[in-house]
Chain A
Amino acid sequence: MFSAIYIEEEIYSTPRVQNILERYPTLPRITIERYGEVFNRKAQNFRLQKLKPALILAKKYNKFVLPAPQEYSIGEGDNYYFSHMLNCVYDCRYCFLQGMYRSANYVLFVNYDDFATGIQQTAAAQPEKINYFYSGYDCDSLVFEPLSRFASYFLPLFKDIPNAVLELRTKSTQVRSLLDMEPIENCVVAFSFTPAIISQALEHKVPSIEKRIDAIKKLQQKGWKVGLRFDPLIYDDNYIAYYGELFESVFKKINVDELHSVSMGVFRLPETYFKNMAKLYPNEKLFAAKLDKQQGMVSYQQEIEQAMVQHCEQALLSYVPKHKYFPCSLS
């Protein structure tokens, strides 16, 4: 699975690291001082590394919990995100990670206790408010669960913080650990979707829509709160038909009444990230046309974006009540 495992010397003997190393006895193990000496070095090609990334086991020292934009909210309250892992096993061509990071290697910060302290302190600082914590910003929240045991650790933590809500954002079907435990009230498992034809073109290694719907059904039957994220909206000349088919296939099969939230977002990237991505993939359709640059951001041309949002929102609201819909748009 990984090309090699790099391990920061300081955490080499910790139980979490040892458990992971036991799973991969034949991989090259390289001891390092700090993950940045591998992850942040120059002269790396994200596209080539994505063919077979290495795993870097590291310790995070600060910025365990960071504020997230209010526009991404799925309820009344303050928004935060925390990244126990950097980079994702999936290879979605629109993903900002390939523009932001030099390396496609996975970094797993194994000091979960420090993240836990940060989360507890953040929630305790505003006990009267609901605080939303998003975990899928720099990675997929669940795909590495058998290795990282992320959900297994953090769900019991959040169970004991009633004014905190955890969003697990994922495209994976790795829900076994959730099915093996009792659901908690303050967790939303949020699945991202794009129409099938676009997904096949742009979302490499992602499970099929059908398999993800299946995972949703199992979670709902168990009692987990589920969210749907149609983000980012991707333009295709036939987007109206494709998004129509997607909404129908998803909403026909899941329990809409039990849905926690649905959100929709537009395709938008900082210009520097876009330049990096376009350089990595010069022949990519997604970067080829219909785009505009404004105030340091790249997005679809305004008339295209507005038309897509208007149409998709209208279609979405024919399936879900307005109070469950959270548009995600940054001006």
Chain B
Amino acid sequence: MINIVAALPVEAKPIIQHFRLQKIQGNHSFTIFSNGDVELIVSGVGAIAAATATGYLAARRGHQQVVAWLNIGIVGSLSRSVGDAVLAHSVTDVTNGQRYYPSLIFAPMCDTASVVTVPKPETSYDGESVFDMEASGFYAAATRFNSNELIHCLKVVSDNQHNSVSNISEPLVKALITEQMEKIDQLVNEMRALIEKLGENAQATEDYRVIAKHFHFTVSQQLTLKSHINHWYALTNHVLLSELIIENYRNAKALLAELQRRLNTMPLSYIPTVRDNS
């Protein structure tokens, strides 16, 4: 699942078209588009709007899932050319000095830059940083739901010392984002690859679902059950539910005790198996 936060409809449009996102119908506080895998929310301008939209999107899916977060939009820069794409290696909120550092654990598909979030359009452009109005709000919110290896800001320069912010038009913004769609796509694919590395065992997930329905598990017991199931599949290829008759146990505690007992009597070998090598 990839969540994208864009401030303006015109920034969102090329992304919506590229990923074939459909508008989610219903009574929502924000406009949301989705294809089941990529979800995009149009936040409105400003850090608070971006933070709120990020939280809203997180709540839609529940934040148990591993999700990547991307903020895509336009920025101003002193010296970079209009149309240049940059990936944030730091995000700074100029109003409170808060700083965030996205982990760039993949080869950046474009230059990286310090993104500085300002409360209103910046025209004095200072140094090497690029200036936007949403990134810090987005980042502050997103880090509540996932780790920063999966949270990134990709920005496209729309104005600089030679091209005034007042010249920004909807057709220009749409063209700038469209032009960088390949890099945005690359970034999405990098995120997908990282999410896959943290992927859950589907059989373990199903076993948990079946067993958890059968007894009342406290929150602590739920965590223990998940852990035991994962450990089961670390040690064996045998499907748990074909070896454990749930009905034989009176309650969650008894089932967990039996699982622990079986884990401790299972063979433990580091000789690689076909599953280890896959």
Known contacts A54-B103, A201-B272, A236-B268; decide if A48 and B235 are in contact (CB<8 Å).
Answer: no
Given A28-B104, A41-B101, A289 contacting B201 (CB threshold 8 A): no
Interface contact A236-B105, CB-CB below 8 Å = no
B270 and A38: CB pair below 8 A?
Answer: no
Interface 9-residue window, one of B74-82, B147-155, B168-176, B213-221:
B147-155
Alpha-carbon gap, A252 to B112, bound state (A): 52
A254 within 8 A of B: no
B198 at the interface (CB under 8 A from A): yes
Answer whether residue B231 sits at the interface, using C-beta atoms and an 8 A cutoff: yes
> At the interface, yes or no: A37 with Cβ under 8 Å from chain B?
yes
The distance from the CB of A66 to the nearest CB of chain B, in whole angstroms, is 28
- Residues from chain B with Cβ under 8 Å of A49 in the complex: 103, 105, 149
A259 on interface, CB distance cutoff 8 Å = no
Q: Tell me whether B104 and A38 are in contact (CB under 8 A).
A: no
Contact of B147 among A44, A198, A234 (CB under 8 A): A44
Identify which of A42, A200, A278 contacts B143 (C-beta below 8 A).
A42
Cα-based distance from A49 to B232 in the complex (angstroms): 27
Q: Is A147 an interface residue (CB 8 A)?
A: no
- Select which of B106, B233, B267, B272 is within 8 A of A52 by beta carbon: B106
From A106-114, A261-269, A279-287, the one touching the partner chain is A279-287
User: Of the candidates A37, A201, A237, which one forms a contact with B99 in the assembled complex, judged by CB atoms under 8 Å apart?
Assistant: A37
Cα A287 to Cα B263 in complex, Å, equals: 11
Interface residue? A20 (CB, 8 A): no
**B interface, size bucket:** 35 or more
In the complex with contacts A3-B105, A28-B89, A282-B227, A236-B269 CB distance below 8 A: yes
The residue on A at minimum CB distance from B230 is A282
Inter-chain contacts of A234 with B (CB < 8 A): 270
Asked if B48 is at the interface of the complex by the 8 Å CB criterion, the answer is no
Contacts of A284 in B (CB 8 A): 234
**A-B pairs under 8 A by CB, number:** 110
The residue in chain B whose Cβ has the minimal distance to the Cβ of A4 is B104
| A28 to B271 alpha-carbon distance, docked (Å) | 41
Whether A48 and B108, one on each chain, are in contact in the complex, defined by CB atoms closer than 8 angstroms, is: no
User: Which of B146, B148, B226, B231 is close to A288, meaning CB atoms less than 8 Å apart?
Assistant: B231
A236 to chain B, nearest CB (A): 5
B189 CB to closest chain A CB, in angstroms?
15
Whether B101 and A283, one on each chain, are in contact in the complex, defined by CB atoms closer than 8 angstroms, is no
Chain B: which residue is nearest A198 at the CB level? B270
**C-alpha spacing A205/B165, complex, angstroms:** 50
Chain A's interface size range is 35 or more
User: Is A221 interfacial (CB 8 A cutoff)?
Assistant: no
Query: Could you tell me the distance between the alpha carbons of A235 and B268 in the complex, rounded to whole angstroms?
Result: 8
Q: How far is the CA of A283 from the CA of B110 in the complex (A)?
A: 35
Chain A residues, Cβ within 8 Å of B150: 45, 48
- Complex Cα–Cα for A238 and B271 (A): 10
Least Cβ–Cβ distance between A239 and chain B, in angstroms: 10
Given contacts A43-B148, A45-B147, A201-B276, contact A289 B227 (CB under 8 A): no
A290 CB-CB contact with B under 8 Å: yes
Given A283-B233, A289-B231, decide whether A44 and B270 contact each other with a Cβ distance below 8 A: no
Describe B's contact surface by its main secondary structure.
Answer: mixed
Cβ-based interface call for B117 (8 A): no
Q: In the complex, which of the residues A4, A37, A202, A287 contacts B270, with contact meaning CB atoms closer than 8 Å?
A: A202
- In angstroms, how far is the closest chain A Cβ from the Cβ of B136? 14
Taking CB atoms and an 8 Å cut-off, the chain A residues in 231-268 that contact chain B are 234-238
Q: CA–CA, A47 to B197, complex, Å?
A: 9
> A288: which B residues are within 8 A, CB to CB?
230-232, 234-235, 263, 268
- Residues in A with CB closer than 8 Å to B276 are 201
In the bound assembly, the distance between CA atoms of A288 and B235 in angstroms comes to 7
CA distance A15 to B232 in the complex (A): 53
B264 at the A interface (CB under 8 A):
yes
* B114 partner, pick from A30, A44, A54, beta carbons under 8 A: A30
Tell me if B194 is interfacial: C-beta within 8 Å of chain A.
yes
Contacts of B267 in A (CB 8 A): 237
Q: Which residues of B sit under 8 angstroms from A236, Cβ to Cβ?
A: 268-270
Contacts of A202 in B (CB 8 A): 270
Asked if A51 meets B105 with Cβ closer than 8 Å, knowing A43-B147, A288-B235, A289-B231, the reply is yes
Q: Is B3 an interface residue (CB 8 A)?
A: no
Whole-angstrom CA separation of A290 from B261 in the bound complex:
10
Q: Which residues of chain A from 166 to 217 have a CB within 8 Å of any chain B CB?
A: 197-198, 200-202
Residue pairs across A and B with Cβ atoms less than 8 A apart, 16 shown, are A3-B104, A3-B105, A3-B106, A4-B112, A45-B198, A47-B198, A48-B198, A49-B105, A53-B105, A54-B104, A201-B276, A235-B268, A237-B269, A278-B227, A282-B226, A289-B235
Given contacts A4-B104, A235-B268, 12 further A-B contacts (CB under 8 A): A3-B106, A41-B100, A43-B144, A44-B148, A44-B149, A45-B198, A48-B103, A53-B105, A197-B270, A237-B269, A283-B201, A289-B268
Please provide the 9 A-B residue pairs with the shortest distance between their CB atoms, ordered closest to farther: A288-B231, A45-B147, A43-B143, A201-B270, A48-B149, A282-B230, A52-B105, A288-B234, A28-B112
Could you tell me which A residues sit within 8 Å of B by CB distance?
3-4, 6, 28, 30, 32, 37-38, 41-45, 47-49, 51-54, 197-198, 200-202, 234-238, 278, 282-285, 287-290, 301
